[in-house]
């Protein structure tokens, strides 16, 4: 569905949109994106500065209201009568004191010589005669800058420290600036280290005209930055020509620190509560009262490379535990028509489990992740054991999932994603913290997530584990964050992110961009599970390096140490575990055939045979001798080898790399023959193997530079 507002009013555009949306069957998040993309650019820009809308209906209403106001203002401006003499208004003139925000390096424009003021020798400031505008008695005299006082143009004194040098300047607070800026002349005087921005950032004024060269090409190192006596932080700036205001603090910093400003007294009244855990740690102690004190652990930044120090908030456990705001990607729970709310059983808990449950409920209530519920729905609450001996809370959402409309968003194909790593030499792995809890349940759907315990009835406000649509919802969010980077330096599978590059310099830029986007979207990372700048890394059960993809030796050892199955369930577990690595095992289907045949007809008992025992041992040995699968290189010719037996078929995709004439496998493929295919003669089985191999690797063979062999 593609719509454009064009010359229509937002109200007419909304009517057309609603008509088509009713027939589309799309969810609110998709419809929100389509509606916003179709609005006129200037209206999109104005809406981007407003965050009051939390639902699609509110967003549409806001767009209509703003569009009507804009059209009304344009109509009034066209009817305005020009005057010859300008008088001082009741509010101060910002243009006289300093350039407007983002109008960097531009001076005030005077009236042309042929204007009435010029001909009559009138003051350009107040319109009176007898003096020049520079000596106008009605001109405002700027006040002196106090510790936290503001000019009318929102100036605040700050201190910059570089090595052993420090300088105090007046910084312009500009909520319209998308980044923090510093004057290039000040950078040269202080000898501040800078590095190139890749890619360069386009910078324009409020009228869309480019400022200076039109691009920000360099960024400073992290600088010690202080506002007033106590507010300290480390901040990086983009370098440009801003002689009128050497330092400009933009909207991202205002959003991060959320200062409260008194417009009546023009003072910074207070900083946000989060600043008291970092930026204001050196503040003079003040008496406080508390009924309960929770000890805050410092951020574990010992293993964080210095190149990413400015993104320390991304690794904050405390920030990750906060209740996120509603966003367009909220988790919607749409139920099937006429479905009744499910109500599960209350599971009895042991004494340790009861204590763990009470602690979990108390923590989740304090964080705002759950709330007391009166919902008719209720799922069971129980625990499963962790590898470290701890307890993991689980909610039995099987009843809810059975009546939930599936969200058909696809998850990435991991083997296909790993094929994109050709040429990568250095890797960084990131693991998101409390991933699902960073997504809110759609407003009005919270009651559907209700669960009951022996101590009460609660419902989730954030997306819990166990919902059928949770993986798809979170994958859609992650893909939206990294849409233009996927396959070009980033692989993201739900809450696991792999950054890969060909050089260290390029890799630092890639990781910085990833961390910047995570910070911008309020997503957080477990530093203790991250690995930075590695030549070899384990990702999603695979060992990845410049050489190719290997099996994780921990999992290989688990297979080789696996005892012979004695029940159907044990055999199913073994085959499920082994099947994960089947792409590494040549003729896997034929080797595992005697084992899979034992599961035909869904038997209740396992009829173990000598043939099955031999296949079990052969399969375990195949894991110990599995080769490294090379990353496919489209610039080299492919070789496809196939084989077919009376019960299965297999194929190998290889390339000649390194040593002349030596074939290196890129992938294996195998499957069992159906009952009908087993009746084929030898020639037709071979043709079937060729057909299956070409279908499996079509995306590599079709359009390749060299014909495959």
Q: Determine the pLDDT at residue 1.
A: 60
Q: What is the 3-state secondary structure (H, E, C) of 123-191?
A: CCCCCCECCCHHHCCCCCCCCCCCCCECCCCCEEEEEEEECCEEEEEEEEECCCCCCCEEEHHHHHHHC
Same domain, yes or no: 687 and 585:
no
481 pLDDT more than 60: yes
What pLDDT, in 10s, does the model give residues 554-604? 777 877 788 888 888 888 888 888 878 777 777 777 788 888 888 877 887
d(Cα 379, Cα 468) in Å, to the nearest integer? Answer: 14
Same domain, yes or no: 186 and 232:
yes
Report yes or no on 333 lying in a domain.
Answer: no
d(Cα 624, Cα 616) in Å, to the nearest integer? Answer: 13
Report yes or no on 316 lying in a domain.
Answer: no
Cis peptide before 92 (omega within 30 of 0): no
Same domain, yes or no: 558 and 694:
no
Q: Is 552 exposed, middle or buried (0-12, 13-18, 19+ CB in 10 A)?
A: middle
Q: Which residues contact 688 (CB under 8 A, 6 or more apart)?
A: 644, 649, 673, 677, 680
If one counts the domains in the chain, the total is 5
Report yes or no on 5 lying in a domain.
Answer: no
Same domain, yes or no: 364 and 394:
yes
Maximum average pLDDT range among 207-216, 429-438, 691-700: 429-438
Strands of 228-295 (E only): list them: 231-235, 238-240, 247-249, 260-262, 267-270
d(Cα 471, Cα 492) in Å, to the nearest integer? Answer: 12
Strands of 348-415 (E only): list them: 370-372, 379-385, 391-396
Rounded-to-10 torsion of CA 519, 521, 522, 528: -60
Q: Is residue 360 within 8 Å of residue 315, measured between CB atoms?
A: no
Same domain, yes or no: 555 and 498:
no
Q: Determine the pLDDT at residue 499.
A: 92
Strand partners, 171: 156, 247
How does residue 97 score in pLDDT terms, banded at 50, 70 and 90? very low
How does residue 385 score in pLDDT terms, banded at 50, 70 and 90? confident
Q: Phi and psi dihedrals of 291, rounded to 5?
A: -85, -20
Q: What is the average pLDDT across 476-486?
A: 87
The H-or-E segment that residue 456 falls in is: strand 456-460
Report yes or no on 164 lying in a domain.
Answer: yes
Helix, strand, coil percentages (3-state) for the chain, rounded to 5, are 35, 25, 45
Q: What is the average pLDDT across 106-127?
A: 46
Q: Is residue 395 within 8 Å of residue 379, measured between CB atoms?
A: yes
What pLDDT, in 10s, does the model give residues 119-133? 445 554 455 556 665
Q: Which residues contact 368 (CB under 8 A, 6 or more apart)?
A: 322, 323, 461
Same domain, yes or no: 407 and 473:
yes
Asked which of 149-163, 292-306, 460-474, 487-501 is least confident by mean pLDDT, the reply is 292-306
Q: Looking at per-residue confidence, does 198 or 473 come out higher?
A: 473
Report yes or no on 127 lying in a domain.
Answer: no
Same domain, yes or no: 620 and 477:
no
* Range of the structural domain that residue 57 is part of: 10-77
629 pLDDT more than 50: yes
**CATH number, residue 604:** 3.30.70.270
Structure tokens at 4: 């454009």
Report yes or no on 669 lying in a domain.
Answer: yes
Residue that finishes a domain, picked among 227, 252, 277? 277
Same domain, yes or no: 502 and 568:
no
Q: Determine the pLDDT at residue 272.
A: 65
Same domain, yes or no: 679 and 696:
yes
Residue that finishes a domain, picked among 61, 77, 93? 77
394 pLDDT more than 50: yes
How does residue 285 score in pLDDT terms, banded at 50, 70 and 90? very low
Same domain, yes or no: 249 and 359:
no
Residue that finishes a domain, picked among 528, 545, 562? 545
Q: Which residues contact 636 (CB under 8 A, 6 or more apart)?
A: 655, 656, 657, 706
Report yes or no on 323 lying in a domain.
Answer: no
Question: What is the distance between the terminal CA atoms of the chain, rounded to a whole angstrom?
Answer: 44
| 559-568 long-range Cβ contacts below 8 angstroms, 24+ apart | 559/620, 559/623, 560/620, 560/623, 560/624, 562/620, 564/608, 564/613, 564/616, 565/606, 565/608, 565/616, 566/606, 566/608, 567/605, 567/606, 568/598, 568/599, 568/603, 568/604, 568/605, 568/606
Report yes or no on 235 lying in a domain.
Answer: yes
Instruction: Find the length of the chain.
Output: 709
552 pLDDT more than 60: yes
């Amino acid at each position: 569905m593609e719509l454009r507002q064009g010359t229509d009013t937002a109200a007419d555009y909304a009517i057309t949109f609603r008509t088509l949306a009713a027939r589309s069957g799309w969810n609110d998040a998709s419809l929100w994106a389509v509606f916003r993309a179709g609005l006129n650019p200037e209206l999109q820009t104005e809406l981007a500065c407003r965050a009051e809308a939390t639902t699609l209906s509110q967003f549409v209403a806001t767009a209509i209201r703003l569009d009507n106001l804009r059209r009304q203002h344009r109509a009034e401006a066209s009817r305005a009568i020009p005057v010859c003499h300008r008088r001082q208004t009741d509010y101060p003139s910002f243009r006289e004191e300093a350039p407007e925000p983002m109008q960097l390096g531009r001076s005030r424009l005077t009236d042309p010589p042929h204007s009435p003021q010029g001909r009559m020798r009138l003051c350009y400031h107040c319109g009176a005669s007898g003096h020049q505008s520079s000596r106008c008695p009605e001109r405002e005299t700027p006040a002196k800058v106090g510790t936290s006082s503001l000019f009318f143009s929102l100036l605040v004194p700050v201190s910059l420290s570089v090595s052993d040098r420090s300088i105090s300047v007046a910084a312009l607070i500009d909520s319209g600036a998308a980044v923090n800026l510093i004057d290039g002349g000040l950078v040269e005087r202080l000898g501040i280290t800078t590095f190139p921005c890749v890619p360069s950032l386009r910078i324009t004024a409020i009228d869309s005209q480019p400022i200076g060269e039109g691009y920000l090409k360099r960024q400073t190192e992290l600088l010690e930055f202080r506002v007033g006596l106590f507010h300290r932080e480390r901040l990086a700036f983009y370098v440009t020509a801003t002689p009128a205001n050497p330092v400009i603090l933009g909207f991202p910093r205002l959003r991060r620190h959320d200062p409260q400003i008194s417009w009546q007294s023009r003072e910074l009244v207070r900083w946000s509560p989060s600043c008291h855990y970092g930026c204001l740690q050196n503040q003079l102690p003040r008496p406080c009262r508390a009924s309960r004190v929770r000890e805050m652990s410092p951020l574990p930044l010992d293993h964080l490379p210095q190149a990413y120090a400015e993104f320390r908030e991304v690794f904050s456990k405390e920030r990750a535990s906060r209740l996120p705001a509603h966003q367009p990607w909220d988790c919607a729970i749409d139920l099937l028509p006429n479905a009744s709310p499910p109500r599960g059983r209350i599971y009895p808990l042991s004494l340790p489990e009861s204590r763990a449950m009470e602690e979990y409920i108390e923590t989740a209530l304090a964080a705002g992740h759950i709330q007391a519920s009166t919902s008719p729905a209720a799922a069971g609450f129980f625990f499963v054991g962790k590898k470290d001996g701890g307890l993991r809370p689980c909610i039995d959402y099987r009843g809810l999932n059975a009546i939930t409309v599936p969200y058909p968003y696809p998850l990435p194909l991991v083997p296909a994603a790993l094929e994109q790593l050709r040429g990568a030499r250095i890797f960084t792995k990131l693991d998101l913290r409390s991933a699902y809890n960073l997504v809110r349940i759609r407003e009005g759907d919270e009651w559907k997530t209700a669960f009951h315990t022996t101590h009460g009835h609660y419902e989730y406000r954030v997306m819990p584990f166990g919902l059928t649509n949770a993986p798809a919802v979170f994958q859609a969010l992650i893909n939206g964050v990294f849409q233009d980077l996927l396959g070009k330096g980033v692989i993201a599978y739900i809450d696991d992110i792999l950054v890969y590059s060909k050089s260290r310099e390029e890799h630092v830029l890639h990781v910085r961009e990833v961390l910047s986007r995570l910070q911008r979207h309020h997503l957080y990372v477990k530093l203790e599970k991250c690995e930075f700048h590695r030549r070899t890394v384990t990702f999603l059960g695979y060992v990845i390096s410049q050489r190719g993809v290997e099996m994780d030796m921990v999992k290989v050892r688990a297979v080789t140490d696996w005892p012979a199955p004695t029940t159907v369930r044990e055999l199913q577990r073994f085959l499920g575990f082994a099947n994960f690595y089947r792409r590494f095992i040549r003729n896997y289907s034929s080797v595992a055939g005697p084992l899979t045949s034992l599961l035909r007809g869904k038997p209740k008992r396992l009829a173990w045979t000598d043939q099955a025992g031999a296949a079990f041992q052969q399969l375990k040995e195949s894991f110990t001798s599995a080769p490294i699968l090379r990353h496919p290189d489209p610039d080299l010719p492919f070789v496809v080898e196939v084989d077919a037996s009376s019960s299965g078929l297999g194929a190998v995709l290889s390339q000649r790399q390194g040593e002349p004439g030596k074939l290196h496998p890129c992938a294996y493929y195998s499957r069992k023959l159906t009952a009908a295919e087993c009746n084929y003669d030898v020639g037709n089985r071979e043709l079937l193997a060729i057909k299956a191999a070409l279908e499996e690797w079509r995306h590599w063979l079709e359009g390749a530079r060299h014909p495959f062999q």
